Structure 1
């Protein structure tokens, strides 16, 4: 290999492009040594055309099919500038050939590559990870139309059996495809039928757009199994056969992807390993990656896989796409030259950004409740003294100490006082009285929450209840106490986690479809994405800091169920499921939440997350060093029997050796020794700087692989459970006291505090913010309030006082004014309503659209009364459009008539036809009257 130092940037780029082409199955030839029969795909360098030499011409079965325009790396940011030049060569006449324009055009630096298929309608270049394989381009050429052309000709959607939100999502998504948008986001409330909607559009893409293969991506094995069940039972509304009778569906449980599979279901973890050419330990598919808090400094590496080329899938559907794992591993998604479709009930800012803000459909939980698709919920609060404050065990008290792994107890005396905070409960210390008091309060409260659930023998039937526990050990403690306090047997209350001895899917199926169990306790397994329609109570005994994760957990209770199906599992049900109840025993409904869990980079990261990160392929220095330090500390705490168990499960390695291997992976001296050993195997004349650098890379990769290889699911679980705190203190000394067990409501004191803060903020800034000065000092000028003024005010308010966001302030005034309507979805109109309330324009909190509606009615009444002006039906239709525009944008201008929605009805010209010279006066009157 030539030394890169002596090469010019263009040649370096060509060398990289050569490697990419070779990896994708092309043979690269020079223009002086052409043998087009050497391979199905041949890339000829510097092929002469009638306008000069093209950097590469691609031949498939001896026929020219495309060109590559090569550029030096520093021009990567400007690749689109070279599209015209690349197209110029593609349309040129090749030497010796009478060719048509070549359809496939690439621009590449060897680092960044863009691709255009000029057979597409409105051809548009797009970034691709690498080059397509010759056989794939050949297959594309054999079809009369390209995929993007076929997407233009999709037939109308047969709406039978679809809910309105599903119809809207499918139609808008297909319009997004027609516009060739590479990414699209569907936001649909949990329980609203996202997966059914996905089956619908996937079926249509396979049938009407002749899609080759579609990937349905999840992040846990459990969700993959559920998706598979949805496809198995899905029957299109235009065919009497099931989906799986028409198309092959494969849920991946190995690295093998069948050539005849048309829908593949996979976890993103498995997909990453497939691209690495490795098998995945199934344990690493069990847990929700959104709960992990280790983030690598560098993205997980993805390299080209000839076995799994970039064109393997035409569409990738990303279920639960809001999870932080997609932010960390998004390059796994970027690998494929495919349309990306995200599905989520709870998008966050990252989700919107990743999907290019192309939200094709929004269907909120509130909308789904109004439509009867989901049920609403109430909150019931249980609060105990120890849950709120913790407790203290005095020195010299005798206590039980329990090993987490074996749950074996020993009797011991404390040497010093032991104060524990609520955060240590059920982790370092267990207080059975605290758990028992919550369970007792829960049992007693059931008579208040569901007072009609008595059978003919006056026996109370517990509604189907899901309890969220902090840890597996905590779940065991809860189950034991629930069975005791309800005086029931094993079947009454069951644990549903991945670590149960009994098949969790079997328990879950019984919980869903049978009378028993009545209560299920889980940590993560059914926290998200699991459908248990008869659920009527969610009892939170663990806090959740992620807003998205909390919304997903709440979603377990939202599902509707018909009366017959509910009565089959809950015999005393008197009517269909109308709502569910959150019982908050930990403060989860009041604790501060973030849009997503913070991705920490501190030494305090949980050992479980360090182990999981290594098992998943993360391998930066901070991670390895942190884990090594934890293992060194752990080794000092283990008994000889525990060390022997570690040895058995780690292929003979001692704990300290495992730690040393992790450190060696980044030890310069060790790396240098291993590198030199590899260099010594190369003949002296071939020891170029590139070969030496390659040896160094190989040496370190081998050290990294050796260090990480033992950390599989089985060993990781053992390390997590065996480590000390290894022991929990059982506090049977402090008895807990019940502080409250009542329906939750917004605190009036808190509402008054928020209202005071908001009013003070407006008063303080009324002279510097134009919108406020108009409201306070010149209400006659309200007609001049513009959309931009209110938007600027909202942005400043959020920047200065994020806790005074309109949604929070609305709830406060709603409590004070006894207003039943929920906060408007539009923050801007909510803000205007709040300002009107504070400045005295409105005596009580009134949604702005209602203010505008009332003012409009009064204005029309005055116009029509007496000898006043009478409007025709057509004029009234236009006046209502103007009214709606003012309700949303606060002001209407003559120029607005040229845009939506007015343009669809004839725009400015039509309104002039209807109102003539009075048009300007009408607009001025409406601006003034409606804002009053």
Structure 2
């Protein structure tokens, strides 16, 4: 419902109300000016689709629900399932609107007998919490009494059990190898713990095929997406039950398709929408181009590398860096650029550096240790490598994820941290890896999208050395998934380095190890030839321009003059409302503070950047006010406007004492 004052017509707010209704997935929209209502009924296609009703004719909740049931074709037995309440923790935590949409659509679809459901929700939007509410309502209504939740990372299973799924209490268990107790109702399992190549390792077969009523597959774009994978066998074994797939990035290639198995997504909530709604962190991109990447490098005739290998004579470019060609100076340069950025901002800003492979991740660990030797000397865990082959690194993954754990800060990885890592305070994503897969790119970007205001995380930065962020310009980055699957016969699948999960073919064809040439820092020099910053605007595009210029343009579009801005700032009961509105339009105050000076608050930043006023700290502003004797000159008006807008309480008290 959109309500206007009596100076407007009854239907003045209808288009707004209809827009809200579409977003909230509800079929009734109302506009009013206090004299009556205009009703728009999305369930109709006749003359009554929009009508005027009096104040006394407004429908009751029961009447609206009956109309909704009729529209959806909800029978009495289905009604009992659909009206099952959400779980409430007593602390007021409720699903967000898009989570409600996903939950309601899923529960309604299952009540009507749908067997395969796909939910696509951007990383950081609470897929697991959404899954919990779906399972809770189905479980409490006894529609689904025994549930299996599958994930492919142990940390995902443990996080789920101790966090979102905790209300299941004693009814829940985690399946471990060779330990089966069929007295529970909610089972959480790691794929690797319930399946294997040897028959005795297939623990899931200790359950009868009809034991579970519901199977939920987290990150379904991964191991179980391939039709011939060992993990798909679990889903096929429990094929008679309902399956729900959860993913931020559905896998749609000619060889693998989530849509082919689960069907078209029942609900999609994108990264762009999450940022616009304020649930996900916006980002800025720092693109750094290195000379040898763009201009290429060719060895001299007969040149050998540091390990006495003859280097193949050809031109090596960006695609070869750290895959076929290793330049030690390039490693040092990348480490220096990362460190310089952190020194300008915050050296304890949690950072993930994505590398080409494990070898590259180890070299970058060493380079970062040298570049940050002062902090490493204080705590050796300041820099760590976290890869699939490193037990010590993997044990530190939880500490990197925990917001209140200061170490580790800088981590290097290959593939292990691309997905399933709920790093709420990660504020810097570094890409030194060639990325061509849109699925992988979305997963990597998702490591930074979570917001944690308590720890000062409201946006994040992407530092790109490999032009990977060009994928932002691809229409598929934030578009709806499209099925391109082409069923075909069995093809050999090669192993990838640092693959964190079991490959589809139980006997994979292993490719010959790639030849790498290593050139020491005295052999080949490298340098940065171009560096630029891009910002995410409200249309979801990356803009390449100064943040100061973008802020000036945005504020000037909103406020035609400084007087107009000051008037609204003075009238606003909560200054944060204005700040939030500008942030929604892509103004990143933290980034702006870095350019102008951290000691300046939002008001001064806006006045300086948008209206060319000199930025003043609060103390300087107080001294200026004292010199001008503003309180005496302008009286009560100055107190009302200047106090909340310009001075802290302590500064005001100090100023009043002086004056």
Which position in structure 1 is the counterpart of 2:237? 335
Which position in structure 2 is the counterpart of 1:262? 185
CA distance in 2, matches of 1:398, 1:178: 68
Deviation at 1:308, TM superposition (A): 2.8
Residues 471 and 584 from structure 1, CA distance in 2 versus in 1: closer, same or farther, beyond 3 angstroms?
same
Deviation at 1:562, TM superposition (A): 2.7
Which one of 145, 153, 174 corresponds to residue 107 of structure 2? 174
Residues 312 and 244 from structure 1, CA distance in 2 versus in 1: closer, same or farther, beyond 3 angstroms?
same
CA distance in 1, matches of 2:442, 2:499: 27
CA distance in 1, matches of 2:236, 2:427: 41
Deviation at 1:352, TM superposition (A): 3.5
Write the deviation string for residues 649-705 of structure 1: whole angstroms up to 9, x where unpaired. xxxxxxxxxxxxxxxxxxxxxxxxxxxxxxxxxxxxxxxxxxxxxxxxxxxxxxxxx
Q: Indicate the SS of the match to 1:393.
A: coil
Q: Indicate the SS of the match to 1:380.
A: strand
Which position in structure 1 is the counterpart of 2:169? 244
Write the deviation string for residues 365-401 of structure 1: whole angstroms up to 9, x where unpaired. 2222233221111111111012224312323545312
Which one of 461, 465, 473 corresponds to residue 581 of structure 1? 461
Residues 375 and 325 from structure 1, CA distance in 2 versus in 1: closer, same or farther, beyond 3 angstroms?
same
Query: Which residues in structure 2 correspond to 1:502-513 (within 5 Å)?
Result: 502=392, 504-510=394-400, 512=402, 513=404
TM-score by length of 1: 0.43
Query: Which residues in structure 2 correspond to 1:783-802 (within 5 Å)?
Result: none
Which position in structure 1 is the counterpart of 2:370? 484
CA distance in 2, matches of 1:611, 1:447: 33
Residues 432 and 150 from structure 1, CA distance in 2 versus in 1: closer, same or farther, beyond 3 angstroms?
same
Deviation at 1:560, TM superposition (A): 1.0
Which position in structure 2 is the counterpart of 1:729? 518
CA distance in 1, matches of 2:373, 2:500: 39
Residues 215 and 526 from structure 1, CA distance in 2 versus in 1: closer, same or farther, beyond 3 angstroms?
same
Residues 340 and 603 from structure 1, CA distance in 2 versus in 1: closer, same or farther, beyond 3 angstroms?
closer
Query: Which residues in structure 2 correspond to 1:346-385 (within 5 Å)?
Result: 346-347=249-250, 350-357=257-264, 359=266, 361-385=267-291
Aligned length: 447
Which position in structure 2 is the counterpart of 1:542? 433
Which position in structure 2 is the counterpart of 1:695? none
Which position in structure 1 is the counterpart of 2:247? 344
Say whether the 8 Å CA contact 1:169–1:186 is kept in structure 2.
yes
Write the deviation string for residues 893-926 of structure 1: whole angstroms up to 9, x where unpaired. xxxxxxxxxxxxxxxxxxxxxxxxxxxxxxxxxx
Residues 441 and 473 from structure 1, CA distance in 2 versus in 1: closer, same or farther, beyond 3 angstroms?
same
Deviation at 1:421, TM superposition (A): 3.4
Write the deviation string for residues 820-873 of structure 1: whole angstroms up to 9, x where unpaired. 8xxxxxxxxxxxxxxxxxxxxxxxxxxxxxxxxxxxxxxxxxxxxxxxxxxxxx
Query: Which residues in structure 2 correspond to 1:14-29 (within 5 Å)?
Result: none
TM-score by length of 2: 0.59
CA distance in 2, matches of 1:447, 1:166: 39
Which position in structure 2 is the counterpart of 1:527? 418
Which position in structure 2 is the counterpart of 1:420? 316
Write the deviation string for residues 35-67 of structure 1: whole angstroms up to 9, x where unpaired. xxxxxxxxxxxxxxxxxxxxxxxxxxxxxxxxx
**Is 1:157–2:86 an aligned residue pair?**
yes
Which one of 725, 735, 738 corresponds to residue 528 of structure 2? 738
Write the deviation string for residues 438-474 of structure 1: whole angstroms up to 9, x where unpaired. 22223334466x3xx4xxxxxxx34211111111110
Residues 487 and 262 from structure 1, CA distance in 2 versus in 1: closer, same or farther, beyond 3 angstroms?
same
Say whether the 8 Å CA contact 2:294–2:318 is kept in structure 1.
yes
Deviation at 1:227, TM superposition (A): 2.5
Which position in structure 1 is the counterpart of 2:121? 188
Say whether the 8 Å CA contact 2:293–2:318 is kept in structure 1.
yes
Write the deviation string for residues 410-445 of structure 1: whole angstroms up to 9, x where unpaired. xx3748756433333223331011121222223334
Residues 604 and 550 from structure 1, CA distance in 2 versus in 1: closer, same or farther, beyond 3 angstroms?
same
Which position in structure 1 is the counterpart of 2:22? none
Which position in structure 2 is the counterpart of 1:494? 384
Deviation at 1:582, TM superposition (A): 0.7
Residues 442 and 587 from structure 1, CA distance in 2 versus in 1: closer, same or farther, beyond 3 angstroms?
same
Say whether the 8 Å CA contact 2:302–2:310 is kept in structure 1.
yes
Which position in structure 2 is the counterpart of 1:555? 446
Greater mean alpha carbon deviation, residues 361-370 or residues 431-440 = 361-370
Which position in structure 1 is the counterpart of 2:213? 314
Residues 607 and 365 from structure 1, CA distance in 2 versus in 1: closer, same or farther, beyond 3 angstroms?
closer
Residues 199 and 429 from structure 1, CA distance in 2 versus in 1: closer, same or farther, beyond 3 angstroms?
same
CA distance in 2, matches of 1:334, 1:604: 22
Q: Indicate the SS of the match to 1:346.
A: coil
CA distance in 1, matches of 2:368, 2:489: 39
Deviation at 1:319, TM superposition (A): 1.0
Write the deviation string for residues 151-191 of structure 1: whole angstroms up to 9, x where unpaired. 64752435641222222222222111221111222222211
Residues 368 and 739 from structure 1, CA distance in 2 versus in 1: closer, same or farther, beyond 3 angstroms?
same
Q: Indicate the SS of the match to 1:184.
A: strand
Residues 582 and 341 from structure 1, CA distance in 2 versus in 1: closer, same or farther, beyond 3 angstroms?
same
Q: Indicate the SS of the match to 1:582.
A: strand
Write the deviation string for residues 534-571 of structure 1: whole angstroms up to 9, x where unpaired. 111100011221112211111110111132xx2xxxxx
CA distance in 2, matches of 1:439, 1:611: 25
CA distance in 1, matches of 2:212, 2:415: 31
Which position in structure 2 is the counterpart of 1:873? none
Deviation at 1:614, TM superposition (A): 9.3
Residues 501 and 728 from structure 1, CA distance in 2 versus in 1: closer, same or farther, beyond 3 angstroms?
farther
CA distance in 1, matches of 2:115, 2:397: 41
Residues 538 and 199 from structure 1, CA distance in 2 versus in 1: closer, same or farther, beyond 3 angstroms?
same
Which position in structure 1 is the counterpart of 2:9? none
Gaps of 5+ in 2: 1-76, 545-551, 555-659
Residues 613 and 485 from structure 1, CA distance in 2 versus in 1: closer, same or farther, beyond 3 angstroms?
closer
Q: Indicate the SS of the match to 1:502.
A: helix
Residues 150 and 307 from structure 1, CA distance in 2 versus in 1: closer, same or farther, beyond 3 angstroms?
farther
CA distance in 1, matches of 2:280, 2:541: 24
**Between Structure 1 and Structure 2, whose CA radius of gyration is higher?**
1
Residues 745 and 371 from structure 1, CA distance in 2 versus in 1: closer, same or farther, beyond 3 angstroms?
closer
Say whether the 8 Å CA contact 1:150–1:209 is kept in structure 2.
no
Which position in structure 1 is the counterpart of 2:606? none
Deviation at 1:735, TM superposition (A): 0.7
Which structure features the higher share of helix residues? 1
**Is 1:216–2:149 an aligned residue pair?**
yes
Q: Indicate the SS of the match to 2:366.
A: helix
Which position in structure 1 is the counterpart of 2:160? 227
Say whether the 8 Å CA contact 1:561–1:577 is kept in structure 2.
yes
Gaps of 5+ in 1: 1-147, 236-242, 282-304, 402-411, 454-460, 567-575, 635-722, 747-805, 812-817, 821-932
Say whether the 8 Å CA contact 1:396–1:413 is kept in structure 2.
no
CA distance in 1, matches of 2:502, 2:323: 24
CA RMSD of aligned residues (A): 4.2
Say whether the 8 Å CA contact 1:393–1:734 is kept in structure 2.
no
CA distance in 2, matches of 1:511, 1:611: 21
Q: Indicate the SS of the match to 1:744.
A: strand
Deviation at 1:810, TM superposition (A): 13
Which position in structure 1 is the counterpart of 2:575? none
**Is 1:466–2:352 an aligned residue pair?**
yes
**Is 1:429–2:325 an aligned residue pair?**
yes
Say whether the 8 Å CA contact 1:380–1:582 is kept in structure 2.
yes
CA distance in 2, matches of 1:446, 1:503: 22
CA distance in 2, matches of 1:355, 1:268: 19
CA distance in 2, matches of 1:542, 1:358: 30
Deviation at 1:231, TM superposition (A): 4.8
